[in-house]
Amino acid sequence: MKYIELKNCYKTYPNGVTALADINLEISKGEFVFIIGPTGCGKSTLMKLLYREEKPTKGNVLVGGIKVEKLRNGKVYKLRKKLGIIFQNYRLLPKQTVYENVAFPLTMDGIKDSEIRPKVLKALERVGLKDKIKSFPDELSGGEQQRVCIARAIVNEPKLLLCDEPTGNLDPGVSKEIMDVIESINKKLGTTIIMVTHDAQIVNRMKKRVITINDGVISNDIMKGKYKANENN
Amino acid sequence: MKTIRVFLRSFKEAFKSVFRNFSLSVASVTCTTITLILVSIAILVSYNVNNVTKKLENELTIVVYLEREATPEQAKDLEGTLKSIKNVEKVTFKSKDEWKFEMQNYSTTLNTTLSYLTENPLLDSYTVKVKNVRDLHKTAEKIKEQEIVRTAEYGEGMVEQLVSVFDIVEKVTVIIVFALILITAFLINNTIKLTIFSRRGEIEIMRYVGTSNYAIRLPFIFEGLFLGIIGSIIPIIITIYGYIIAYTRLDGHLFSNVLSLVKPFSFVIYVSLVLLLIGACVGVFGSYKAVRKYLKV
The string of pLDDT tens digits covering residues A214-231 is 999 998 898 877 775 444
A176 occurs within a structural domain: no
Q: Which residues of A touch B206 (CB under 8 A)?
A: 104, 108
In this prediction, residues B55-66 reach a mean pLDDT of 82
A181 occurs within a structural domain: no
* Chain A residues 51-70 with a CB less than 8 Å from chain B: 51, 53
Answer whether A112 touches B (CB < 8 Å): yes
**A73 & A99 share domain:** no
Mean pLDDT of chain A: 91
In this prediction, residues A149-160 reach a mean pLDDT of 94
pLDDT at B177: 81
DSSP character for B262? P
A209-214/A32-36 β-pairing? parallel
Cα B87 → chain centroid: 24
Write the CB contacts of A18 (distance below 8 Å, at least 6 apart in sequence).
Answer: A10, A11, A12, A216
A177 occurs within a structural domain: no
pLDDT at B67: 87
A163 occurs within a structural domain: no
**A51 & A95 share domain:** no
Q: Which amino acid is at B31?
A: C
Q: Show which of A157, A182, A214 is a domain's final residue.
A: A157
Q: Which residues of A touch B212 (CB under 8 A)?
A: 74, 77
**A97 & A77 share domain:** no
Query: Are B20 and A77 within 8 A, CB to CB?
Result: no
- B160-201 pLDDT tens trace: 787 788 788 878 888 888 888 788 778 777 877 877 887 888
Instruction: Considering only the beta carbons, identify the residue of B6, B208, B296 that sits closest to A110.
Output: B6
To the nearest whole angstrom, how far is the Cα of B277 from the nearest Cα of chain A?
29
**A53 & A97 share domain:** no
A119 occurs within a structural domain: yes
B71 band by pLDDT with thresholds 50, 70 and 90: confident
* Chain B residues 231-270 with a CB less than 8 Å from chain A: none
**A71 & A114 share domain:** no
On whether the CB atoms of residues A194 and A35 are closer than 8 A, the answer is: yes
pTM of the model: 0.73
Query: Are B209 and A93 within 8 A, CB to CB?
Result: no
Flag whether pLDDT at B54 surpasses 60: yes
pLDDT at B128: 87
CATH number of the domain where residue A204 is located: 3.40.50.300
Q: Show which of A157, A175, A208 is a domain's final residue.
A: A157
**A98 & A69 share domain:** no
Answer whether B174 touches A (CB < 8 Å): no
Distance CA B250, CA B253 (A): 6
- A42-95 pLDDT tens trace: 898 999 999 999 999 999 999 998 999 999 988 999 999 999 999 999 999 998
A10 occurs within a structural domain: yes
B198, B205, B214, B296, best to mutate vs chain A, most A CBs in 10 Å: B205
Q: Which of A201-205, B52-56, B76-80, B136-140 has the highest mean pLDDT?
A: A201-205
- B193-243 pLDDT tens trace: 877 887 888 889 999 999 999 999 998 899 889 989 999 999 999 999 999
Q: Is the dihedral of CA A124, A129, A132, A135 positive or negative?
A: negative
Flag whether pLDDT at A209 surpasses 80: yes
A182 occurs within a structural domain: no
Instruction: Considering only the beta carbons, identify the residue of A79, A91, A108 that sits closest to B211.
Output: A108
A31 occurs within a structural domain: yes
Kindly state the percentage of chain B with pLDDT values over 70.
Answer: 98
For chain B, list the domains and their CATH numbers. Answer: 2-56+161-292 (no CATH), 61-153 (3.30.70.3040)
**A93 & A78 share domain:** no
B149-153/B125-130 β-pairing? unpaired
**A146 & A118 share domain:** yes
Domain count, chain A: 2
The C-alpha angle A2, A6, A11, rounded to 5 degrees, equals: 160
**A95 & A71 share domain:** no
**A101 & A135 share domain:** yes
Query: Are A108 and B206 within 8 A, CB to CB?
Result: yes
pLDDT at B296: 76
pLDDT at A233: 43
Q: Which amino acid is at B295?
A: L
Q: Show which of A157, A180, A211 is a domain's final residue.
A: A157
Mean pLDDT of chain B: 84
**A6 & A38 share domain:** yes
Task: For chains A and B, count residue pairs whose Cβ atoms are closer than 8 Å.
Answer: 63
- Residue A143 lies in domain: 89-157
Query: Are B205 and A91 within 8 A, CB to CB?
Result: yes
To the nearest whole angstrom, how far is the Cα of A83 from the nearest Cα of chain B?
8
Answer whether B207 touches A (CB < 8 Å): yes
**A17 & A44 share domain:** yes
pLDDT at B57: 75
pLDDT at A232: 46
